[in-house]
Structure 1
């Protein structure tokens, strides 16, 4: 009796599993790149067929009475193509936000419903740029290269390495080389829609040990040169400013008209001029005798008449 009950329970369980499996949606996982297209065919005979396309539960396309019905396009504006020949919908120029669940519900008019088609879409970036970075550590004379492979196009990418020592997986790789030894390594970054590779040649040299020191030395030299240039510029600017200031003070204190300043102390021109000579000395304090010619006309007619008389009509008559 117990054996019969156990067998009956097994049969009922298998029947329920079969019914559940038959009523469940047909799942499919699809990976696409940004800019690709996604085709969503009904895959059913078109006669007397009604089809509804949904994205995360929202309807974005409908097919009834052998034609597509207009549906307000708020999910994929201007990116949907509808095909009556095979009853399919195509979403063009995929974007990251298009990742999600697409369902296709098809049923006969007045008949049974076909199994629901479920498509899980993942939209990825294409891998375009891959770079290899490394640091060097030394043990004795040998070089150990600590390699790191990276791409910023898709952070979920996987990595693989290839060299004459074999292959390995993961973004990290360590390689040890003897002095003067070299090796070429290749890193490949890939996701479900694309892949990209890059190569680098590693060389173990004596200079590798001092690479960081040399960089710091060059940085120190550059900063020192810049400081010297700035300091020199400041010194030159101060020198020019002091020189210009001295000239201004000299010009403000000594002028050609200084001896006519009524408020200043009496000063002869010979005392104010450095070399003791100027055009004014011939008519100022350099004169030796007041009776000598005082102007250019005195040289032509030194015995000029101080006044006009009946015999001379002008002081310049004798010259003429």
Structure 2
């Protein structure tokens, strides 16, 4: 078989989930998970608190979460430590959560937590190019994740694994059904996607076109 790598290097990066104490940070979570957004501040002396999602206020110190918030009943506010808990994450929940607070009559610096809700199921697409010369088929594969999260890609066919996100692979009719497996992984999870491709003999295609021409001639 002839193999050429369209992705020349593997996107080996680490899965970021920064839970630093205080300050701005980024949290990556999978769609469907729950996440706690904590400002990591002492409640002592704090007289007022607001959480915003973008420009929309989603929690108040005294009254908690308003009914008309973008997350409906999936959002909870802890009045003791001022944390937010968001359940059953959706891809559209991604964005900036801004925590502001007053210490006495003085406003403290805002804390911005950027949430990235990501789906870990990759999308595997394929295109089959038929050769009229030797009857083989060239399969063009592309594996992608619909987010900008840092992950590692691999494509497996048979007993061969290639650390790439794109692959060009040649199969023949006698190979039968060939299954390609794309895997997207990070330190906490892995999700595969599968695609089965068959190379049809060139004779079958010629005969098929001949039948169509014959039918047209009869009519």
How far is 1:202 from its partner? 6.3
Aligned match of 1:53:
51
How far is 1:173 from its partner? 1.4
In 2: Cα distance, 1:76 partner to 1:61 partner = 11
Q: Give the superposed CA RMSD.
A: 4.2
How far is 1:85 from its partner? 4.3
In 1: Cα distance, 2:132 partner to 2:212 partner = 23
Structure 1 residues 109, 89: closer, same or farther in 2, change over 3 A?
Answer: same
Contact 2:100 2:107 in 1 (8 A): no
In 2: Cα distance, 1:168 partner to 1:212 partner = 34
Residue segments in structure 1 that go unaligned for 5+ positions in a row: 1-24, 229-320
Correspondence for 1:44 among 19, 41, 46: 41
Q: How does 1:150-165 map to 2 (within 5 A)?
A: 154=146, 160-163=154-157, 164-165=159-160
In 1: Cα distance, 2:160 partner to 2:65 partner = 61
- Deviation digits for residues 273-309 of structure 1 (CA, Å, limit 9, x no counterpart): xxxxxxxxxxxxxxxxxxxxxxxxxxxxxxxxxxxxx
How far is 1:93 from its partner? 3.4
In 1: Cα distance, 2:124 partner to 2:165 partner = 14
In 2: Cα distance, 1:74 partner to 1:87 partner = 17
Aligned match of 1:76:
71
Structure 1 residues 55, 189: closer, same or farther in 2, change over 3 A?
Answer: same
- Deviation digits for residues 184-228 of structure 1 (CA, Å, limit 9, x no counterpart): 55331548886322254767xxx622232234345567x67xx98
Q: How does 1:166-185 map to 2 (within 5 A)?
A: 166-175=161-170
In 2: Cα distance, 1:155 partner to 1:52 partner = 29
* Structure in which a larger fraction of residues adopt helix: 1
Structure 1 residues 217, 28: closer, same or farther in 2, change over 3 A?
Answer: farther
- Residue correspondences, number: 192
Larger Rg: 1
| Larger relative contact order (Cα-Cα within 8 Å, sequence gap ≥ 6) | 2
In 1: Cα distance, 2:207 partner to 2:185 partner = 39
In 2: Cα distance, 1:78 partner to 1:71 partner = 10
In 2: Cα distance, 1:28 partner to 1:160 partner = 29
In 1: Cα distance, 2:160 partner to 2:72 partner = 52
Aligned match of 1:148:
141
- Deviation digits for residues 75-122 of structure 1 (CA, Å, limit 9, x no counterpart): 333332122343311223333433321111234335672x53212233
**TM-score (normalizing by structure 2):** 0.61
Q: Does 1:104 align with 2:99?
A: yes
Residue segments in structure 2 that go unaligned for 5+ positions in a row: 1-21
